[in-house]
Amino acid sequence: MKQSINILISGGGTGGHIYPAIAIANELKLRYPDANFLFVGAKDKMEMEKVPQAGYEIKGLWISGIQRKAIIDNFSFPFKMINSLSKAAKIIRQFKPDVAIGTGGFASGPTLIMANRKGIPTLIQEQNSYPGITNKLLGKRAHKICVAYDHLERFFPANKIVKTGNPVRQDLLSIHSKTEEGKLFFDLGRDTKTLLILGGSLGARAINQLIEKNLEFFKKQDVQIIWQCGKSYYQEYKKYNDLEHVQVHEFLNRMDLAYAAADIIVSRSGASSVSELCIVGKPVIFIPSPNVAEDHQTKNAKAIADQHGALLLKESELGAFPIVFETLLKDKGKQEHLSENIHELALPGATTDIVNEIEKLLKN
């Protein structure tokens, strides 16, 4: 193997694709300090900001997914795909990667298609229990497919699948020793139960509306709230910072301390969130987004709920939320039961295991 290796990584659109990609890059950088890294993302998506913040170079493709609602926007898709395939081919020709890694999202499609055509070893990392269309297509030619759930032989060649789990922030592995630090960081009452609200990196309207509707209910339950409402909704909800028992945040930079301080968590069920929450091991009420491809968030949450590791409440069932929440809040045995079961599903060595598979491709 040549001393300096070139590693191409593509994935984005949401934090669920970006943060695993960065975690993989960070682990590879530890093992190969002299390696060259290049990310490929979709122009105007959050990876174009988040990846440079993590210290990596990124190039953008003019690409977006098929729109289920705005059908007229799909007319430009073939032109975007042709343009992106051409640009991806140019990037690969100039960068000369030794391996190409895809973590899902629009840009990973053209990038890994062209990498495969050039004979470059490819690995895809599928975070969800139900793969998106991009990874389903890429899986046919990928050399290795790292997954987080069982039974994905329905979608991918069984001989290529390795169950690794999803990469998570390494600072979550020690959150149980950070409870006091978390309460101090967020200036929380030490003897008051804390509810953490997570709607994903962009926020979730249905969850935000649910919390707003129940602010007085939470006060009566003597519950304090860390509410991550998302960038899209912060201006609308920041006024509730005036309430004594509520903290509204656009984004949480210290997720480890937020998790550590929480007694109960309400969350979307994107793949990265689910993987993190398994490691965190706190009682969770999942409220899946129904507006994602193949309804994969519901499938992710159901995979945990079926193992009695979390409660699942669909958006159509949110009228029952106060009863569900109050019942859980008052049942310490139920809280402990959920915590133990979700923690048993954790795969904390995911990043290491994925990079081990990448190393095998580099050495072949």
End-to-end CA distance of the chain: 9
Q: Is the pLDDT of residue 67 over 70?
A: no
Mean pLDDT calculated for residue range 300-326: 97
pLDDT at residue 292 in the model: 81
Q: Which of 49-53, 68-72, 81-85, 173-177 has the lowest mean pLDDT?
A: 68-72
pLDDT tens per residue across span 159-208: 999 999 999 888 888 899 999 999 999 999 999 999 999 987 677 999 99
% of residues, the chain, pLDDT over 70: 95
Where residue 1 falls among pLDDT bands split at 50, 70, 90? Answer: very low
pLDDT at 77 over 70: no
The pLDDT of residue 157 is above 60: yes
- CA–CA distance, 77 with 187 (Å, rounded to integer): 48
- Supply the pLDDT for residue 274: 95
**pTM (2 decimals)?**
0.85
Q: What pLDDT score was predicted for residue 196?
A: 98
